[in-house]
Chains A and B, each alone.
Chain A
Amino acid sequence: MTMHLDFIIVDNNSLNCFIAERMLQNIDSSIGVHTFLHAQEAYEYIKKQPVNPEGHKTVVMLDIHMPLMDGFAFLQEFQKLPEEQQNSFAIYIITSSTDINDKLRSNKVPAVKRFMSKPITFNMLNEIISNMMVEA
């Protein structure tokens, strides 16, 4: 069975959204990409998604430092969702923060798979994709 991957990019910098989308398309054009400049909108979108069918995974690439709802506030809301809905998503923190406290704080959230430091690279995205394949 082939595995279908979707990506949700949450970053208030549209340049970063463009970068991630462009790189993902380059790696595999069958990957679905949704980008959000506001974490609140991403959350509303995620909330409305049906639970993923088997063989379908959605990766959320989440920035931490954002105005209004930041990455931590997003995680807090996300954790209130029903468990099976949460399980449809794999969250990767992608941030320019090297602050060790940010890292410790986000690693406490079970839905967070990894904390990765920017820049976004092909290697980074390939790593996320192969991680998801292994888990499936």
Chain B
Amino acid sequence: MEEIKILYVDDEINNLSSFKSTFRFDYKILLAASQVEAMNYLAQNPDISIVMCDQRMPGSSGVEFLEEIKLRFPRPVRMLVSGYTDMEALVNGVNKGNIFKYIKKPWSAAEIKAAISDGYKHYLTSSLLTQKNEELHRAYKQLDEFAYNVTHGLRDPILSVLSLVEIAQHMDDVPDSVKEILQMVGLAMVQLDNYVENTHDYHQLKNDSTNISEISFQGLADELEQAYEPERARKAITFTCNIDQQETFRSNKTLLHVIVNNLLSNAFKYQRKNISDNFVALDITVANDIATIIVKDNGIGIKADYIRNIFEPLYRATSVEYGSGLGLYNLKDALQKLGGDIYVDSKEDVGSTFKIVIPNKK
């Protein structure tokens, strides 16, 4: 078994030496006759697992000393040794969680051994827990970095292909038949890119949702409008955007972005090809601590039978366009984290309206 390292603090030299002589074969013992000395030992010996301190000391009391080391050296288990029944200080110390055990003087060797055995078990479990917690924290951070790197690593070449396709489209010596094929290559890349983005959102939602800040819905809408401009232009869709925000609104930017982005993505994606007045409308109103977001389109709509399933992960209500099946699932997940609600009104071959309400996080 591992050697247990104990620091014993008492200003009476006799007490110190009798403690050491009794237990010198059982434990590794450090003795300190003052609190300053004790602090030095703690600083130099991070492997001390138990600190025992006498209550009556010059300067601050044992209870006060243990309270202080709890902040500076949280790992060792703290015990108070006292011959005086200074009840108030003791109760206080125990209640603040500063003292694991109280040992009454005069002590017996058996009592001390039992206390140390208990204390050491406690020390092992709590330091193991701390260690595991730190490991977990590191693992999460690495996972975040991994997700970020993988997303970037996948997207960068996809986006390069899109640019190359565009260059070829502008070249006079490329025949139209080849341009047509390249157009399809481009579309496949857009699909792949959406898939990667959705997967990244899915990961991000699992982790980041505690960051709350002031939201400018106009800013959010402008950003998204810019992002959807190429698709809007390509499909000749009329996009209208009305933002009415008279009051400050606090929420999580990432989650809001996922929500509105997913609604717009679907609205722009699932358009009907046999009409010419295609539109997408985004309306956001902030009033009385509630943000109401409405995205409306006259696209392909959703079959009545399918509506209840659209928020399930990987469910797809159509094969008309390519999708990851994660978009609305991510949206619902984000919405739940913000305490919001969603209402769907959709009719096949007429269009869809998604309405979302989100409370202000004050």
Contact = CB atoms under 8 A, between A and B. Distances in A.
A1 B352 CA distance: 53
Interface stretch (B19-27, B98-106, B160-168): B160-168
Interface string A98-128: 1110000000000000000111111100000
B166 A122 contact: yes
Nearest to B200: A98
Interface in B137-160: 148, 152, 155-157, 159-160
Interface of A: 13, 15-16, 19, 22-23, 26, 65, 96-100, 117-123
A98 B197 CA distance: 8
Given A13-B160, A119-B162, A121-B163, A65 B152 contact: yes
B209 interface: no
A120 B148 contact: no
A23 B163 contact: yes
B191 interface: no
B160 A19 contact: yes
B112 interface: no
A39 to B, nearest CB: 15
A109 to B, nearest CB: 18
Contacts of B152: 65, 96-97
Contacts of B159: 96, 118-120
B164 A19 contact: yes
A16 B166 CA distance: 13
Given A118-B156, A121-B230, A100 B166 contact: no
B121 to A, nearest CB: 43
B148 A99 contact: yes
A120 B156 CA distance: 11
B362 interface: no
Nearest to A123: B230
A96 B158 CA distance: 10
Contact of B160 (A16, A97, A122, A123): A16
Contacts of B170: 26, 122
Contacts of B160: 13, 15-16, 19, 118-119
B208 to A, nearest CB: 9
A65 B151 CA distance: 11
- In the complex, which range does the number of interface residues on chain B fall in? 20 to 34
5 contacts: A13-B160, A19-B163, A96-B155, A97-B152, A98-B200
Q: Which 10 A-B pairs have the closest CB atoms?
A: A119-B162, A118-B159, A119-B159, A96-B155, A19-B163, A15-B160, A119-B163, A96-B156, A120-B163, A65-B152
Interface in B232-277: 253-254, 257
A16 B227 CA distance: 20
A119 B164 CA distance: 9
**Most-contacted residue by chain A among B166, B197, B230 (CB, 10 A):** B166
Contacts of B200: 98
A93 to B, nearest CB: 14
A107 to B, nearest CB: 10
Contact of B257 (A16, A19, A100, A121): A100
Nearest to B227: A117
Instruction: Tell which of A22, A119, A121 has the most Cβ of chain B within 10 Å.
Output: A119
Nearest to A11: B156
A122 B163 CA distance: 9
Contacts of A121: 162-163, 166, 230
Interface string B264-303: 0000000000000000000000000000000000000000
A17 to B, nearest CB: 10
A100 B156 contact: no
Contacts of A13: 156-157, 160
Nearest to B229: A123
A19 B167 contact: yes
Nearest to B190: A119
Interface in B162-204: 162-164, 166-167, 170, 197, 200
A98 B200 CA distance: 10
A100 B259 CA distance: 14
B164 to A, nearest CB: 6
A26 B227 CA distance: 24
A120 B162 CA distance: 8
Nearest to B233: A123
Contacts of B167: 19, 22-23, 26
A115 to B, nearest CB: 9
